[in-house]
Structure 1
Amino acid sequence: MKTEDVRQHLTTPLTSPAYAPTIPRFTDREYLNVVYRTDPEALRAVVPEPLRIGEPLVRFEVMKMGDVSGYGPYTEAGQAIPVSFEGEHGEYLHAMYLDNFPATASGREVSAYPKVLGSPSLTVDAGALVGTLDHGSLRVATATMGYKHHELDLREARAQITVPTFMLKTIPGYDGLPRVQELVRTRITDVTVKEAWTGPARLQLFQHVLAPLADLPVLQIVSASHILTDLTLSGAEPVHDYLKGAAS
């Protein structure tokens, strides 16, 4: 294979890429969001500068992807933290666990999503919307919300899921030091909110050394939402270079 041919390939392995070279379109993406108050010192320990924290809040989310171009259906769960950057309000994506390897690989390589493999689920059980996350055979999170108790304004639902998201992109060099270390920003586009609901909710987080969601403990439930939407994820753009000016 000639050099110019190699340069046309943007994924690995070279001849059998781990994910499709496409911008995924999400159809019937279903959210369970539970926003809770946590320990501010615990937040400060995990949110990187120059992001700033306001209220000590965390959004636990479970997302059931009805259909995704390039990947097919899958489910994802994680934590997002409200932050601001240079006056712009958004969320820092702290942790993401999903059951689809191509989506995991592309999220980390193409953008900077903090994705690892896990076993999340989103189901309805006896009048409750139930979101769970397992790591291996152990439960690490259980969220419950009253199923479609009260309609949520579609504009408010759209605002909840379209805030800018910030992520930390780190690529190690062969010397063991960071070769790339950037804060990047992305956002959701082409959004159609089909349904939106709110209601009472509860969230339990369980200690696990390899899935430390409980390091951001649940002190008080603030709000919950159940949203069904179609959307596209835009590409990531760097907004802060941690290595700029560092000694080589």
Structure 2
Amino acid sequence: MKAEDVRRRLSTPLTGPAFPPMSPRFTDREYLNIVYRTDPEALRAVVPEPLEIGEPLVRFEVMRMGDVTGYGPYTEAGQAIPVSFEGERGEYLHAMYLDNFAATASGREVSAYPKTTGSPRLYVDHGALVGTLDYGSLRVATATMGYQHRALDLDEARAQITVPTFMLKIVPGYTGRPRVSELVRTEITDVTVKQAWTGPARLQLFEHVLAPLADLPVRQIVSASHILTDLTLAPVRPVHDYLKETS
């Protein structure tokens, strides 16, 4: 294989890449979102500067991807934290757990999504929308919401899921020191909201050393939504370089 062919490759293994070289399109992406109030001190311990925290809120999400080009269906769960950066409001993506290796590898390598393996589920059970997350054989989160209790305004639903998102891109170097350490920004584009609902909700988080969602404890449920969409993820762009601070 010639050097120019190697330079065109996006990921390893060289002859069987872990993910396809494409920007995926999500069709029938289904969200269960529960926004809750937590401890301010817990948020300050995990949100990196220069992001700023306002109200001590967290959004727990479970997303069932009905059809994704390049990856197929999969499910994902995690936590996002409302923040601001240079006056722009958005969310810091704190943790993401999913059951698809290609989407995990692509999210981490091409972008900066904090993805790792887990076993999330989203389903309906006796009139409740249920989202769960298992890490290995242990349950770490259970969310329930009344199934389609009240319609949610589609513009409000679109606003919920299209806020800018911020993430950390950390790539280690061969000496053990970071080669890349950046705060990056992205957003959802080309969105079609098909259905949106709200209703009562509950959320339980369980202690686990390798899936520490409960480090941001639930103090009060603020809101919940159930949204069905088609969308595309925009490429990330760096907005802050941590390594320049020390150079």
Pairing 1:30–2:62 present? no
Match of 1:174 in 2: 174
- What one-letter code is carried by the residue in structure 1 that aligns with 2:136? G
Unaligned runs of 5+ in 2: none
Alignment partners' CA distance in 1, 2:242 and 2:46? 16
Match of 1:242 in 2: 242
Alignment partners' CA distance in 1, 2:75 and 2:4? 37
Match of 1:233 in 2: 233
Match of 2:80 in 1: 80
3-state secondary structure, aligned to 2:107:
helix
Match of 1:112 in 2: 112
Alignment partners' CA distance in 2, 1:193 and 1:99? 24
TM-score, normalised relative to structure 1: 0.99
**Aligned ranges 1:62-73 → 2 under 5 Å:** 62-73=62-73
Match of 1:149 in 2: 149
- What one-letter code is carried by the residue in structure 1 that aligns with 2:156? E
* Deviations 1:43-93 (CA, angstroms, capped at 9, x unpaired): 000000000000000000000000000000000000000000000000000
How many correspondences in the alignment?
Answer: 247
* Deviations 1:112-138 (CA, angstroms, capped at 9, x unpaired): 000000000000000000000000000
- What one-letter code is carried by the residue in structure 1 that aligns with 2:52? R
Match of 2:14 in 1: 14
- What one-letter code is carried by the residue in structure 2 that aligns with 1:7? R
**Aligned ranges 1:129-140 → 2 under 5 Å:** 129-140=129-140
- What one-letter code is carried by the residue in structure 2 that aligns with 1:241? D
3-state secondary structure, aligned to 2:90:
strand
TM-score, normalised relative to structure 2: 0.99
3-state secondary structure, aligned to 1:11:
coil
Alignment partners' CA distance in 2, 1:246 and 1:45? 21
Alignment partners' CA distance in 2, 1:245 and 1:153? 44
Alignment partners' CA distance in 2, 1:8 and 1:151? 47
- Kindly state the Cα deviation for residue 246 of structure 1 after the two structures are TM-superposed: 2.0
Match of 2:211 in 1: 211
- What one-letter code is carried by the residue in structure 2 that aligns with 1:19? F
* Deviations 1:136-170 (CA, angstroms, capped at 9, x unpaired): 00000000000000000000000000000000000
Q: CA RMSD for the aligned pairs?
A: 0.5
- Kindly state the Cα deviation for residue 245 of structure 1 after the two structures are TM-superposed: 4.3
Unaligned runs of 5+ in 1: none
* Runs of 4+ that moved beyond 2 A: none
Match of 1:189 in 2: 189
- What one-letter code is carried by the residue in structure 1 that aligns with 2:209? V
Alignment partners' CA distance in 2, 1:144 and 1:243? 42
Alignment partners' CA distance in 1, 2:14 and 2:203? 43
- What one-letter code is carried by the residue in structure 2 that aligns with 1:198? T
